[in-house]
Structure 1
Amino acid sequence: MSDIDLLAGILSKTGDLVEGVHPDQLSLPTTCASYDVEALRNHLVGWLQVFRAGCEGRAYEGDPAAHVCGDDPAGEFRTAADGVLAAWRTNGFDRQVRVREGELPARMVFDMTLMEYLGHGWDLAVATGQPVPFTEEEAAEALARAEVTLPPRFRGEGQAFGEIVPVAEDAPAVDRFVGFLGRDPGAARPSAS
């Protein structure tokens, strides 16, 4: 599978999860302590717009943390996803990509995008009681890239990622992936009612 196909599959499945959120689920808790379902959905859409802008070679105007989805969050997500994919196809990987205030190697930004949308896609699925849609191949590839991309200094109290949660080596790749990100894949799912 090509890099673009890998990202396209993950973004498509995450877009389906965004579409699958019901209005009565917006205040449900998620596996991300600082986000309920609505805040997580806003985060997913807001940051995808940041990644799109960077991939297109422009700065994102605004604060992704302040993004609030309109009447069609799934449509917003899919529009941004289409832009991200088109920009990777057009501009390739031999460049620097702006993410907020700084620039990073394109490959690193690409891998961050995979991690962000498979990880938070899992969070959204678990919080809303939707099936986790990611394939073994997608999760295994995201895990391999996360192991190279995510240094220990970003883990722990006050950091973006928790400590690694031990998961059996023969567990499904998505469980090993979310464990690596610091989530417990065996955590009870919040009620979707």
Structure 2
Amino acid sequence: MADSVIGAAGAGGGAEVPVDLRPAARRTAAVVAGVEDAQLGDPTPCTEFAVRDLLRHIDALAVGLQYTARKEPGDVTAAAAGGAADRPLPDDWRERLPHDLADLAVAWSAPDAWTGTTQAGGFTLTGTEGGLVTLDELVVHGWDLARATRQDYQVDEPGLRAVRDFLAAGVSEGEDGEQGIFGPVVHVDADAPLLDQIVGLAGRDPAWQPPGSA
């Protein structure tokens, strides 16, 4: 159902934007739909979030980054990123989140979303940066959720390359080694799959497995 929701909502868009967010949004929506109630309290590779918290975060970003795409600054775009702990997970999250992710993909299918300046997480950034931040959130947190709930996760290669390049550009040398946008980089082989490279640049261990995995 999640794939059909986003496929219909995004039909005809995305041809003139730097990178199409619809494949990542579809895949993340499918992972959301596959989460079981018994998994909501389980840990995730995003160590500050359990599965329930990660779903809250995805819900918040799916709505908030639509305002970023439309360049509508306000309380939503001025709020610090990651503050999902006080946002209740809606009872209808399995139905709501795929629709919100569909709307997010549509918002970023407008070429104007990628131009000029906008706001997210209290920061001013270019439209292109905003689009790449959104894609990064979809891919990294989609992987977090999939790995925590033992689901497969793959995204289109153009999307993966865009996220890899975006995260790699944010790496700097610190006292404790390389620091990425999300903290210390976890190094992987240079010929590792693109998704593993992204996960490492985002400060996660690509080999992370939920407790009890074989």
The TM-score with structure 1 as length reference comes to: 0.84
Query: Aligned pair 1:58/2:78, yes or no?
Result: no
The letter of the residue matching 1:48 is: A
Could you tell me which residue of structure 2 aligns to residue 70 of structure 1? 90
Separation of aligned partners in 2, 1:29 and 1:88: 30
Structure 2 unmatched runs, 5+ = 1-13
1:71-122, CA deviations, whole angstroms, 9 ceiling, x for partnerless residues?
A: 2224322332233333333433222112143421111111111111100111
Could you tell me which residue of structure 2 aligns to residue 28 of structure 1? 42
Output the aligned Cα RMSD.
2.7
Separation of aligned partners in 2, 1:166 and 1:116: 20
- Residue 89 of structure 1 aligns to a residue in which SS? coil
Question: Residues 51 and 57 of structure 1: is their aligned pair in 2 closer, same or farther, counting only changes over 3 Å?
Answer: same
Could you tell me which residue of structure 2 aligns to residue 87 of structure 1? 107
Separation of aligned partners in 1, 2:114 and 2:206: 32
Could you tell me which residue of structure 2 aligns to residue 170 of structure 1? 191
Structure 1 unmatched runs, 5+ = none
Cα offset for 1:42?
0.4
Cα offset for 1:60?
5.3
Cα offset for 1:182?
1.0
Separation of aligned partners in 1, 2:37 and 2:70: 33
Check whether the contact 1:14–1:118 (CA below 8 A) recurs between aligned residues: yes
Check whether the contact 1:111–1:146 (CA below 8 A) recurs between aligned residues: no
Q: 1:37 aligns with which of 51, 72, 87?
A: 51
Separation of aligned partners in 1, 2:18 and 2:212: 35
Cα offset for 1:50?
1.1
Larger % of helix: which?
1
Query: Aligned pair 1:11/2:31, yes or no?
Result: no
Question: Residues 160 and 42 of structure 1: is their aligned pair in 2 closer, same or farther, counting only changes over 3 Å?
Answer: farther
Could you tell me which residue of structure 2 aligns to residue 105 of structure 1? 126
Report how many aligned residue pairs link the two structures: 189
The residue correspondences of 1:145-160 to structure 2 (distance < 5 A) are 145-148=166-169, 150-152=170-172
Could you tell me which residue of structure 2 aligns to residue 186 of structure 1? 207
Q: Report % sequence identity.
A: 25
Separation of aligned partners in 1, 2:156 and 2:123: 32
Moved more, 83-92 or 48-57: 83-92
Separation of aligned partners in 2, 1:126 and 1:182: 15
The letter of the residue matching 2:52 is: E
Q: 2:145 aligns with which of 109, 120, 124?
A: 124
Question: Residues 57 and 172 of structure 1: is their aligned pair in 2 closer, same or farther, counting only changes over 3 Å?
Answer: same
Separation of aligned partners in 2, 1:52 and 1:89: 11
